[in-house]
Amino acid sequence: MRITFLGTGTSSGVPRIACDCDVCRSTDPRNHRLRCSLLIEHDGRALVIDTPPDLRTQSLRQGLRRLDALLFTHAHADHLYGLDDVRCFRLEEREPLPCYADARTRERIAVVFDYAFRGGHPSSVPQLALHDAETPTTLWGLPVQPIPVLHGRLPVLGYRFGRFAYVTDCSAIPPASMALLGGVEVLVLGALRHREHPTHFNVEQALAAIATIGPRHAWLTHIAHDLDHEATEACLPAQVRLAYDGLSLELEP
């Protein structure tokens, strides 16, 4: 399977609107971060985790031609509000797009995108089928294990696919979820900045979690404008790198 980071930025994206800091003005493309989304390609299918407001730009930039399912981590605006744009995929298909999310996120989708469930034409209204993501499932032979974590006080989901796991907005990983991450070889974990934050791991907290989980490689995502790519990577252990938009990795499932 192949994973591609469609976006690696925090909720505002980087550069941030109306900010003149060094990272926002940087010419290093790795400091240009759209909101977080991950593409997983496996067995000829395309699975996307979260639909940020940048999804249209990300789909065009990536040359994405198909979309077979969506997984959601939670319903915050930076992970959800691009969902309308999925109507441009699958126009010729009769089946609605499977969307896997926890109960809280499914409720939000049904409210925010209420028009999608009233039978509009597929070219103007996304055709969605909501499914429970809280129990493990299999998509095209790919095992999908939900990993419950805390994002401040909000319970959200990360996902494990065999030897790979993706956990973005996270400030605490409960012991049972630590156990679910045991033996994972490649881990993507959110790390906002160096300063502490009430609802996100900072770099130091993410490194501590990575040290406990012990993956062979870890990639940090959901990155704020506080972190310059090159300067931050210089301070990280060799097996931990900062993800960047467009980064693609070929993984054993």
Residues that bind Zn ion (CB under 5 A): 11, 16, 19, 21, 24, 76, 78, 169, 225
Identity of the residue, 139 or 227, whose beta carbon is nearer to Zn ion in the bound complex: 227
Identity of the residue, 158 or 162, whose beta carbon is nearer to Zn ion in the bound complex: 158
Identity of the residue, 62 or 73, whose beta carbon is nearer to Zn ion in the bound complex: 73
Identity of the residue, 16 or 90, whose beta carbon is nearer to Zn ion in the bound complex: 16
Identity of the residue, 113 or 201, whose beta carbon is nearer to Zn ion in the bound complex: 201
Q: Which two tokens stand for residue 20?
A: 């003149």
CB of 213 to Zn ion, least distance (A): 21
CB of 50 to Zn ion, least distance (A): 8
CB of 43 to Zn ion, least distance (A): 29
169, 137 contact by CB (below 8 A): no
Helix (H) or strand (E) holding 176: helix 175-180
CB of 174 to Zn ion, least distance (A): 17
CB of 251 to Zn ion, least distance (A): 23
Q: Which two tokens stand for residue 85?
A: 């744009």
Report d(CA 236, CA 204) in Å as an integer: 10
Collect contacts of 226-232 with beta carbons under 8 A, ≥24 apart: 226/23, 226/192, 226/193, 226/194, 226/195, 227/23, 227/193, 227/194, 227/203, 228/22, 228/23, 228/26, 228/28, 228/31, 229/28, 229/30, 229/31, 230/28, 230/30, 232/203
